[in-house]
Structure formats: structure tokens, C-alpha cells
Amino acid sequence: MQYYLLIPFLPFAAFIINILFGRKIIKDNAHWVSTLAVAGSWIVSVMTLMDVLSGLSVNQNLYTWMLSGNFKVSVGFLIDQLTAVMLIVVTTCSTLIHIYSIGYMHGDKGYYRFFSYLSLFTFCMLMLVMANNFLQLYFGWEGVGLCSYFLIGYYFDKKSASDAGKKAFIVNRFGDFGFGIGIFMIFITFGTTYYDEVFSQAAGHALTRVNFLGFDVHLMTLIALLLFCGSIGKSAQMPLHVWLPDAMEGPTPVSALIHAATMVTAGVFLVARCNPIFSLSETALIVVAMTGAITSLFAATIGLVQNDLKRIIAYSTVSQLGYMFLACGVGAYTAGVFHLYTHAFFKALLFLCAGSVMHAMGGELNIQKMGSLKKFMPITYWTMLLASLSIAGVPGLAGFFSKDEILWLAYSGASPVGKIVWAMGTLVAFLTAFYSFRLIFLTFHGRFRGTHEQEHHLHESPKTMTVPLMILCVGAVASGWVGIPHLVGGGAHFTEFMKPVLGHAEGHGTHAEEWMVMAISVAVGFSGIGLAYFMYVLRPELPGIVTQRFLAVHKVLFNKYYIDELYSFLIIRPTIWVAKNVLIGVTDARVIEAIVNGVPSAIGGFSRQLRKMQTGLLHNYATITAMGIFIIAAVMLLRNW
Amino acid sequence: MEQTMVNQAGFPILSCLIFLPLLGVAALLLVRRTNESLIRMVALITSIAGFLLSLPLFTSFDKTTYAMQFVEKQAWIPAWNINYHLGLDGISIMFVLLTTLVTILCVLISWNSVKMKTKEFYISILVVESAIIGVFCSLDFFLFYIFWEAMLIPMYLLIGVWGGPNRVYAAVKFFLYTLVGSVLMLVGIIVLYLYSGRNFNIVELASKVYPYDMQIWLFWAFFAAFAVKVPMFPVHTWLPDAHTEAPTAGSVILAAVLIKMGAYGFLRFSLPILPDASRAMTPVMMTLSVIAIIYGGIICLAQTDLKRLIAYSSVSHMGFVTLGIFALNTQGMEGGILQMLNHGIVTGGLFLGVGAIYDRTHTRQISDYGGVASVMPVYAAIFIVFTFASIGLPATNGFVGEFLILLGGFKASQLAGVLSASGIIIGAGYMLWLYQRVFFMETGQKVAGLKDVDFREMAALIPMVVLIFWIGIYPEAVMGFMHESVRHLLERVNDGSANGTSLTKNVMEIMK
């Protein structure tokens, strides 16, 4: 019973084959290797899900990775309900996006390289979700970060792309800094980094307080927040969200796979996986909930005014990730993971549709220069429309069920900030519906605003691209049906399935309240769509007027609250200034080198003075000799006194 | 001392390793200086033979004991109780292997780039190899000191003769800097020798007890020699000059093995001979290490010279090494020793890589590059492996070392652990920025049309890549050697206090 090992190692084998033989031998057939491998992983994942559904779980070590004193950690695999769901999400999205990429990347000079990276990414992501200890999780965590770096900077001859890749990696390192220290604390506290051992001992430390850097803190809060630092980086939450919008420099399939469906949700996965730790700390949960809610609102407001097709979806991703954290923070881990799972489908679909649009528009990204694409690319239009309806929370679609569950559990749960984050979440639902449909209307409706050349070129994308769109569209519509709440006659199967790992968050409220929360979220969703229709279809002159009226606000939003500029001003430039002007300029050059070069020159100077005694004149020497004799004699005499 | 004298190789393998390069030197002396291809061939064959000869160390080393192995002992100057005494334990063995491997790579990478005084160049390389192996094998303090200083001369020549434009300044600075430190160590050695009843035996010296005050004085005397070599902050300023000006092979030897001698000195002498002083000085050593990590890292951000940047990154990385060693716990110390090896592999690899491209462009200015990945894809792929190993990405060796060091450092002092962990952010910053400026973006003028790495260069670079992943994925392959020795060393350092202070008092009583 080790067939599950195929899940990560098939893509790994594909990576090795493509990276070694891709450039010279395989070339344009690289997609066969990678796609078949990931499809194989998908099949095995489905088999694994069946096994898990029938009650099986795996927790097995492959070999000892690191051993030092009492520190021991293995490469090992844990397969339970949470892993099984993540496996399905990752392999399904990955397989479809591989197929899509065959069409999208066709003719690119780095074709084999692209598929190598995709395979490597899939491997690392699967290692991340299948880990049975924190170290291997960290391995996968950094591994997906590496692939993200490669793929964002895929067009490395563009400065903006290579900047964005570097930025993503470094910003993530800030999060990993905390994450790493969290792992140290876990090892020091529990003497192990294996999940099962850590989580089973965690409850025993519910009240423990420790000294951390001189502060007396609650141990579980400390560990939870340190781990959450990692999540903030990987899942692009404030204040480390800055890398994700820039990550759109990568090819669109990458945005769909890594920066929407899978990698960025790793932070949510981490919190859900560590729910036994987070649940022991109310403070940590409040921080998670508020970070999620604030990020969600913050990103949604930026999304309102952007014109770059992919960046709007990127901000939407940041916002939806915030939603997932909001859910985890109110203790509704299942709802968070449920949203992760539905979001993967509709958000991947949105990105792939965006890719299809770019394909037709010859790389154009500005939605102000699009319009009326509906008639040229009907499949893209309809799938994107359904994805947008799903994210807007239209009843019956996937996004509706997961979003509704989050809002309901926030409203009715035990969290002290529940009502606040519910209110914020509801506002975000309105904004989400609005900007999603602003995008739809500007892109597909109205008249075409691009160049004649572009208009002439407009066409629907090839089959390899549209078929994955249609399959994902099924997911965007139907994936929520496994979690239909009891209220509307469903079985809430998803919640039941996850219960052993994630526990069960109970809402405390009447049916009437539950209906009310649902009604409000549906109402705000529809009004968002309605407002977008009014502003961008019925009265297209309105947006310009509104912008003029609120010019300052628009400017702040359009410039993303100037956060990038702030970081550059506060962190990057001062650090480089210090390096140049203090470390090199003062300490190294003026202090250390002054001593190093100063001592020899002082000795040299002294010698030059001493040399003056070497006059070469006999009478001088005779005088000195005589003086010497006199001194020695005097000393001898005095000593014998 | 209950040390068993074993030499499982069945022949004086360590002596052979030390003298084989000198045999190669003798052969080179017989070759006519105009016959450069034969000179290179002799050097290559000698270095390969040395490496093959060192492999039995790896296969027949007994990992279950901390005792010295492959021991050889001959009376040398009986009147002063000086012996020709060699042996290896789990701490030193890897550095001998690394030295023999790196020598091959140095010969390969210098193949076409050294065009002047070829014969003398390869002689210098082989003499350095011999001396460095001697340093790691010596169990007699006198012998150790001879090898320690002998290494300086060929290294001085390598920098001063085959180096860059500012080579003479760099060579003299390197020589004087390290010599000043070494002289203080010599004083320390003599004090130890006299105090211990005219004994130079390192293993025996490391089992005696010395008065606390004397330990402190000796600690700083040794510190002077070892800290310069590491190099620790604030005595690091020779390194950027030496690295930058040295020829590729010189930089590689410096980075890969030579500066390891400093950290090795702490492990072999300061800690076991002066356990009480080492414990007492831990705060100082950890502070200096943390400063080195952060200072060395930030200063990299402002470098404009490829080799200088990598040189400063060595300061930062060696800060990790000393931090781990002076954490005085298992994870820290094993991580520290592993990181010494890792740094040798990775930074050695980086310098080999820089050498390969310098041969093509003859510029070290980062701003002259750009877009190398477009014209040299294989080279770019190899270099990115080194880059990410330097950043400490999991699955590379750098991660295992840094993780264990930070864990050990954090256990010893939370503040030190947290501050040093910021090194992983800074490291990512300067290395990725460097990579971007050299390999990404538009192809620069000097870069356009460059040929990708050839077979010879691949042969020099690939071994490092293999080692990076091998150690990264299965670190036990090398850490298995050190467990026992580290355990023994830590027992000596940490238990020294219990019987150490009382014994110290007794000794002081007797002295009165």
C-alpha cells in the first residue's frame, strides 16, 4: 500500500526528464511527459480519496532526512481527509492547466523549461500537502516558492518579470523568517516536529507561558502567530501582500495554477492543518480573523479601480484568501478549506479565461481597450461569466455555498470579533460582485475600444484551451454541491467528511437568522452586479464622473495605497544606503581598515625616525656607544648599591 | 589517554596524501616549462590520484567511535618531544576529502586561464594542497603549526603572482594579517607546551585541565589566529581583497578549504583544550557571529564586483558556522561543521562559476553583465543551483546546515537565533539580486555571443552540484561521520565545568 508515493514522484520524474533532456531531445514534446505524469497523479489521487472515504489513513515515514542529537525528522507522508481534498484540488487544477498550457505556450522558445517548472511545482506542492511533519512542509513551502520565482520570472529578459520573481521570493522570506522560528519553538516545546506528536501534546500546553526575547508570552499564541507569519507571506496577506499582484508578470497558466488555485492557498492549509494549535489561542485566532478581514476589504477596494485584467483578478485572489483566513480565524476551518476548494476552480477558471482573452488580444491586458469580445469568443465569455457569478455568490453556484457558510459561521460563531468580520465580509461580497462584473462588462460588452488590427485578429482560442475552461466551469458551478448546508436541504457532506481533522464549528443561531445572513449576502451580491451593470453598461459615462468627483480617493486606490513606495522608502533604500555609506564607507573603510593599514604605517613611520640614527658617521656611533656603556655602568652600580 | 591507535587502511594513508602532491611537484620540476600541456596533465593526474587515494578514508572510517583513526606516529625531534603524529576523526575527515576534490576542480578551471608561469602555478596549487591536508591531519601541535604557516607561502604567491590588478596589496595584506594572528597562536602553543610538561600531543593536551585564567589568555591567543582565518568580524577585511584579487583557483581554495582552517582550529583546539574559557566566551563569540551574519549580508547589497560580493557573503556564512559551533549544543555544532563543508562546496562552486565566466568576459563588474541566461543556459542552470544552495533552500545542503545552526543557536540564545535568522532574508536579497543582474534582463554587450560551458568546465562544476543535492537530500551521508566526535567534544566542553573548576582549583593550590 505505497502507491500513493506515485502522486508526488510522477511529476518529479517528469521534471527530471524534461530538465535534463528537454532542451536538446524532447523539445516541443515536453508537454507529453509532464501532462501524462500529472494526469497519473490525478488518477492516483482519486484512488486515494476513495480510500480515505472508506476510512483509511496513512502516516508513514520514508527515510530519515535529518538527524542531529535528539532532533530527528523524516521524509514522511500523512494522508487524511484534509490531505485528500488538497490532493484533488492540486492535481485536478494542475492537470487541466497543463493541458491548457499546451495551447497557450505553443511555440514559446522555453517550452520544455515551462513544463519542467510546472512539474517541479506540482511535485513540491504535493510534498507540501502530504507532509507528516513541519520540516517537510517547509521543504514543500520553499520548493513552491522557488518554482513561483522561476515561473514569475519566466520571461527573464524582461526587467519587470525578473524584478517580480525576485520580489516574490524575498517578500516570502520575511514570512518564512517567522515560520522558521515557529518551527524552532515547536521543536523546543514538543521535542519533535511530527504533526501527530505535536498536536496530541498541544492541549497539554494550553496554559503554558514562556519567556520569548524577554517577554512573558502565552506559548500557543506565540507558536500560532509565528506559523501565521509564514501564511501571511505565502498567501499574500497584509502586510506582505505586495508580491502577488506583481506576480502576474508570469505566464497566465502560472497565475491560474500557482497564484490562484494552489500555492497561495498553502497558508490557509497551514492554519487549517495546525488547527489544534490555533484553537488553543483566542488571541491568535482574532489576529487571523482580523488579518483576513482587513486584507479582504483592502484588496477588494484596490480591485475596484484597476484596469489590468490580470491584476484585478490577482487582487480578487488576495481578497478571497483573506476570506479563507477570516473563516479560520472564527474557528470555521472547514468553511475556510471549503472556500479554498471552490475558489480553486472558479479562480483558476477566471485566470484561464483571462489568458484566453489575452491570447485573442495579442497580449493586451488593459480592459479599457477591450469590449464586445462576447461575440468573438463565446466559450470564453460564458465560462468567465459563470465563474464571475460563482465568485459573486449567486445562489446555487460553488462560491455561494462556501461564502455563505463562512459568513454564517462568522456571524453566529463564538468568536469575539465574529460580528465585525461578518460585516466586513458582507461588504467585501458586495465589492467583489461589483469589480468582477465591471471586468466582465468592460471586457465583453459594449463596443470594442482597441485598435483595428487587434479587432481583426479576435478569435476564440483553440480546443486545448477551451476544453479545460469548460471542465473547470463544471467545477466552478458544481463543486459547492458537496457542501450544501442542512438549511436548504443539503447534507453538508463536506463538513462531515472534514470533521475528524478540522473539528466542527457550530453556528449558534436560529434558522431565521441563518436565512437572514444568507439573504443579505445574496442581496449584496446582486446589488454589486446591478451597480456594475448600471455604471458600465447603462450609463458608461458614470465611471468617469465618479472618478473626477473622488479624484484623491481614486488616486490612492489606483496606486494601491502606495504600499510599495512605502516599503521602498522605509526598508529597501535605507538598507542599501546603510550598506554603502555606513558599512562600506565608515566601519570597513574608516575604522577597521584604518587600524589594519594604520598599524603598519605607524611602524613604518617609527622606523623612518629610527633610521635617522643610522648616519654612517663614525663619531656619532662612538658617542652612542659611549653613552650606552655609561648607562649600563650606572645601572649596574645603582643595583649593587 | 585511552585513545586506541588504529590505522585501518593498512598503510600510512595520511602521509601518502600529504606527500603525493609533493611528488607531483617533483615531477613538475622535471618538466620543461614550455611544455604547458604536459605540466597541466601532470598536475591533473596528481590531483586525481590524491582524490582517489583519499576515498578509502570515506569508506573505511569507523563511525562508531570518536577516537582518532588512520593514526601514524613517529618520533621526530625526541629531544623536544616532537612527533610526526597524524590522525583523523569525524570532525576533520570531511575536510581532507574536500581538499583533495577541490584541488582537481582548481586544476580544471585554471586549464586555459593561467597562461603565465604555468609550471610555478601548478606547483603552488599542489603545495597548498599538501599543507592544507597536513593541517587537518596533524595531531602534534608543532607539526600543525608548520603546516599552518607553510600554507601561507604558496597562497601568498598564488594571489601575488597570478592575481588581479591590485594583487600585491592583497597578497601582502593576506600574509601579514594571518601571520600576526598565527604568531600569537605560537605563543599560546609554547605556553601550553611548557605547562603540560613539554607535550605537543593535541589529543593529550585536550584531556588535561588548565587554570581558568590561563585558559582565558590562551583562548584569546588562539582566537587571534583562528578568527582571522575564519574570518570573523571585525578581522575580516583581508578576505574581500584576497578573494577579489586572487586567480579563480586561489579564490576557490581560499573559500572552499583555507578559511575552514580557522573554524577547524576552534573545534580542534579552543574548545577541547580550553573548555572553561570557551564556555565563558560564548556570549562574545555568539555576538561576533551574529554581527558577521548581518553585517556581511547587508554589505553584500552594495557590492558592484562579482567576486567581492561572494567574498562578503562568505563572511556572513562563516558567521553562521561560528554561531553554530559556539552554541555548544549538538544541533548547532553539527550544523556548524556541516556548514563548513557546505560553504566549501557552495562558495567554492560560486567562485568556480565566476571564474568560468570571467575567462570569457574579463570583467568582474556586475553592471557589465546581464542576460547571461539567454546565451549560456546550461551555465545559468548550474549557477542557480549554487545560488539557491547559498540561500539555503531545502533539498540543498545549505538548508540542512543553516537550519541546524539556527536551531542550535536559538536553543542557546533566543536573541541570537532570531537575529541570525534575518540572515536568510538578507541572503535571499543579495544573491537573487546578483543573479538577476548577471543572468536576467537584456543581454549586455560583453555577454552577447558567449559560448556555453564546455566539457572541461562542466567537469569542474558538476561535482559541486551533485554534492549539493546529495547532502541536501541525505545529509546523514556526511553527518554520520561526525555524530560521535561531536558528542565527545561537547561532553568535554560542557562537563569540563563539573570536575574542571574543582580540578582547576587543585592545580592552582599545587602551584602555590
Query: Cell numbers at residue A130, please?
Result: 502530504
pLDDT value for B97: 94
Residue A292, classed as helix, strand or coil, is: helix
- Backbone φ and ψ for A449, nearest 5 degrees, come out as -115, 10
Mean pLDDT value across residues A446-465: 83
Q: Which residue has the higher pLDDT, A448 or B250?
A: B250
CA distance A580 to chain B (A): 5
Report whether B487 contacts A70 (CB < 8 A): no
Residue A198, classed as helix, strand or coil, is: helix
- Sign (positive or negative) of CA dihedral A114, A116, A120, A123: positive
Q: Which residues of A touch B237 (CB under 8 A)?
A: 588, 592-593, 596
- Three-state secondary structure along A466-519? HHHHHHHHHHHHHHHHHHCCHHHCCCCHHHHHHHHHHCCCCCCCCHHHHHHHHH
* pTM of the model as a whole: 0.91
Report whether A47 contacts A79 (CB < 8 A): no
Residue range B302-350, pLDDT digits in tens? 888 999 999 999 999 999 999 999 999 999 999 999 999 999 999 999 9
Give the H or E element holding residue B23.
helix B13-30
Report whether B366 contacts B306 (CB < 8 A): yes
CA distance B369 to chain A (A): 13
- Nearest residue, CB atoms, B436 vs list A166, A177, A587: A166
Give the H or E element holding residue A65.
strand A58-68
pLDDT value for B1: 38
Query: Cell numbers at residue A540, please?
Result: 458608461
List beta partners, residue B84. B74
Question: Locate cell 459563470: which residue?
Answer: A386
A-B contacts (CB, under 8 Å): 139
Report whether A421 contacts A330 (CB < 8 A): yes
Contacts of B59 by beta carbon, 8 Å cutoff, 6+ apart: none
Residue A549, classed as helix, strand or coil, is: helix
Distance CA B296, CA B15 (A): 38
The one-character DSSP state at B138 is B
Nearest to A247 by CA among A348, A142, A353, A167: A167
Q: Which residues of A touch B388 (CB under 8 A)?
A: 146
What is the signed CA dihedral for A528, A533, A539, A543, rounded to 10 degrees? Answer: 50
Q: Which residues of A touch B381 (CB under 8 A)?
A: 19
Q: Is the pLDDT confidence value at A627 over 90?
A: yes
Number of neighbours of residue B5 by Cβ within 10 angstroms: 11
pLDDT value for B443: 84
In terms of Cβ atoms closer than 10 Å to its own Cβ (0-12, 13-18, 19+), residue A459 is exposed
| Residue of A125, A184, A576, A588 to mutate when probing chain B, most B C-beta within 10 A | A184
Distance CA A347, CA A264 (A): 12
Distance CA B129, CA B327 (A): 31
Q: In percent, how much of chain B has pLDDT > 90?
A: 52
Question: Locate cell 516536529: which residue?
Answer: A193
Looking at A39-43, A386-390, B369-373, which range is the least confident one? B369-373
Residue A203, classed as helix, strand or coil, is: helix
Label residue A1 by pLDDT band (50, 70, 90): low
Phi-psi region of A32 (alpha: psi -120 to 50; beta: other; left: phi over 0): alpha
Mean pLDDT value across residues A308-312: 89
Give the H or E element holding residue B75.
strand B69-77
Mean pLDDT value across residues A503-530: 85
Residue range B80-94, pLDDT digits in tens? 889 999 999 999 999
Task: Test B428 with A173 for CB contact under 8 angstroms.
Answer: yes
Query: Cell numbers at residue B50, please?
Result: 590524491
Give the H or E element holding residue B121.
helix B118-137
Distance CA A261, CA A640 (A): 97
Give the H or E element holding residue A137.
helix A134-152
Helices (H) and strands (E) in chain B, counts: 23, 2
* Residue A368 C-alpha from the chain's centroid: 28
Residue B430, classed as helix, strand or coil, is: helix
Nearest to A273 by CA among A224, A330, A344: A224
Contacts of A228 by beta carbon, 8 Å cutoff, 6+ apart: A178, A271, A284, A287, A288, A291
Task: Test B432 with A187 for CB contact under 8 angstroms.
Answer: no
pLDDT value for B500: 45
Residue range A297-307, pLDDT digits in tens? 999 999 888 88
Distance CA A354, CA A344 (A): 15
Distance CA A584, CA A564 (A): 27
pLDDT value for A497: 85
| Residue of A66, A155, A186 to mutate when probing chain B, most B C-beta within 10 A | A66
Report whether A336 contacts A268 (CB < 8 A): yes
Q: Which residues of A touch B176 (CB under 8 A)?
A: 600
pLDDT value for B499: 44
Label residue A122 by pLDDT band (50, 70, 90): very high
Looking at A18-27, A126-135, A140-149, which range is the least confident one? A18-27
Residue ranges of chain B with pLDDT lower than 50? 1-3, 497-504, 506-507, 510, 512
Report whether B263 contacts B336 (CB < 8 A): yes
Task: Test B442 with A64 for CB contact under 8 angstroms.
Answer: no
Nearest to B229 by CA among B181, B272, B188: B181
Is B476 touching A (CB cutoff 8 A)? yes
Task: Test B302 with A584 for CB contact under 8 angstroms.
Answer: yes
Is B393 touching A (CB cutoff 8 A)? yes
Q: Which residues of B touch A592 (CB under 8 A)?
A: 234-237
Distance CA A253, CA A255 (A): 5
List beta partners, residue B33. none
Task: Test B393 with A71 for CB contact under 8 angstroms.
Answer: no
Task: Test A213 with B415 for CB contact under 8 angstroms.
Answer: yes
CA distance B398 to chain A (A): 13
List beta partners, residue A59. A78
Q: Is the pLDDT confidence value at A345 over 50?
A: yes
Contacts of B85 by beta carbon, 8 Å cutoff, 6+ apart: B71, B72, B73, B74, B138, B139, B140, B143, B201, B202
Distance CA A515, CA A509 (A): 10
Task: Test A174 with B395 for CB contact under 8 angstroms.
Answer: no
Residue B301, classed as helix, strand or coil, is: coil
Say if strands A58-68 and A215-218 run parallel, antiparallel, or are unpaired: unpaired
Nearest to A231 by CA among A199, A272, A197, A260: A272
Distance CA A294, CA A279 (A): 21
* Residue B297 C-alpha from the chain's centroid: 19
B 65-124 residues with CB < 8 A to A: none
